[in-house]
Amino acid sequence: MVERIIILGGGIAGISAKWRNRRGLLIDENPYLTMAPRIIDVISGKSPDYPLIPRSLDYTGSVQSIDFENRKVHLRNKDINYDRLIIALGHSQDYSFIKGSKYVHGFSGYADAMALRNEMVHKKHIVIIGGGYLGVELAGAIGGNRVTVLEGGKQILGGLPSKFAKTASELLSSSGVDIELESPVEEVRKDRVITAGKSYESDLTLFAGGFTGNLPETVQDITTKNSRVAVNSYLQSLDYPDVYAAGDTMSVENGGFVPMSAIIARSSGITAMENAMGFRKQFRPSNFANIMRVGKNYFGTVGNTFVQGISARLIKEAAVALTVNRAREI
């Protein structure tokens, strides 16, 4: 019998694992689950508490390192043994490769949203580097400022069906956001951003990309890809069969592109737990519903159907509510 399943990270993937098997022991450094899809709401004026969901933990502490040979997790003041381990430590962001990175503000979570909310009121022109999902939602949320999105590719929201880019471009343009395509950034300076052909004045430059996994640097003895644990289709580490990974911190070998999303985090957390319990379930990534927003406008796909307006908003809110309820249940 498997005695002890330890879950590292009580975000969306981690609480889904715990929800599937309440005997798993959940560890996180934060007393709250941060519901990332609600972080954007904080920028556009909702209460700072809105994304923070209280949930129970078995241990509170920051993971410092993991001894895979001896099956031991080191927290700052405590060591915890495991029989099976699920790593669900979320994502981090790297923009050190940008020339002038010291003038760039990252955007990867709640603290960045709070900082932006306070700072943006004093800014004349905000430049967002990256026209992906996050860059577009950010641009839509920053009201009352001049905003430019610099996208290196031929269209924003590359990788999503073209209807996403068309809808987002129309909504952003109608709210006064400038979108510059094929504009890879060459350098960021204190007061400007320079691309191959142009220079943009900027008193706040945000980077909405460069996401990596979030394994502590001390965790070296395991195969990783971009700081994510490399796993097989059973979400099992390529090196240690008793170690699993889920959510933003997993990289599925030969699994094609797996987006960082709440649906993927939820389903992978459940699959990782089922396999840690002794089942043998393959992870089949499906981002069945993909709803985004620009300002107050919601749109996206459910299966192959494009939805927009109130129905899209309700689908998104229902998906978020499902996770919030599970966090409260565990």
Q: Does residue 37 belong to the site contacting ligand FAD (CB under 6 A)?
A: yes
Site string for ligand FAD, 82-101 (x = CB under 6 A): ------xxxx----------
Please identify, using beta-carbon distances, which residue of 141 and 177 lies nearer to ligand FAD.
141
Q: Does residue 106 belong to the site contacting ligand FAD (CB under 6 A)?
A: no
Distances (CA, A) of 269 to 15, 18, 21, 92, 284: 8, 8, 11, 18, 12
Please identify, using beta-carbon distances, which residue of 36 and 177 lies nearer to ligand FAD.
36
- The CB density around residue 8, as the number of other CB atoms within 10 Å, is 27
Q: Which of residues 149-188 bind ligand FAD (CB under 6 A)?
A: none
**CA–CA gap between residue 107 and residue 292 (Å, rounded):** 17
**CA–CA gap between residue 107 and residue 80 (Å, rounded):** 32
Q: Does residue 63 belong to the site contacting ligand FAD (CB under 6 A)?
A: yes
Please identify, using beta-carbon distances, which residue of 86 and 98 lies nearer to ligand FAD.
86
Site string for ligand FAD, 110-139 (x = CB under 6 A): ------------------------x-----
Residue count, binding to ligand FAD (CB under 6 A): 32
**CA–CA gap between residue 171 and residue 210 (Å, rounded):** 25
Whether the Cβ atoms of residue 174 and residue 110 lie closer than 8 Å to each other: no
Among 5, 6, 7, 14, interactor with ligand FAD by CB under 6 A = 14
Please identify, using beta-carbon distances, which residue of 62 and 199 lies nearer to ligand FAD.
62
Please identify, using beta-carbon distances, which residue of 84 and 316 lies nearer to ligand FAD.
316
Site of tokens 């998104």: 316
Please identify, using beta-carbon distances, which residue of 112 and 187 lies nearer to ligand FAD.
112
Buried b or exposed e, range 123-155, using 16+ CB within 10 angstroms: bebbbbbbbbbbbbbbbbbbeebbbbbbbbbeb
Distances (CA, A) of 19 to 10, 51, 221: 11, 19, 29
Within 8 A by CB and 6+ apart from 217, the residues are: none
Segment contacting ligand FAD by CB under 6 A, of 180-188, 189-197, 257-265, 298-306: 257-265
Q: Does residue 209 belong to the site contacting ligand FAD (CB under 6 A)?
A: no
Q: Does residue 29 belong to the site contacting ligand FAD (CB under 6 A)?
A: yes
Buried b or exposed e, range 229-263, using 16+ CB within 10 angstroms: bbbbebbbbeebeebbbbbbbbbbeebeebebbbb
Q: Does residue 277 belong to the site contacting ligand FAD (CB under 6 A)?
A: no
Among 6, 7, 9, 200, interactor with ligand FAD by CB under 6 A = 9
Which residues form the interface with ligand FAD (CB under 6 A)? Answer: 9-14, 28-30, 36-37, 39-40, 62-63, 88-91, 108-109, 134, 214, 216, 247-249, 260-263, 265
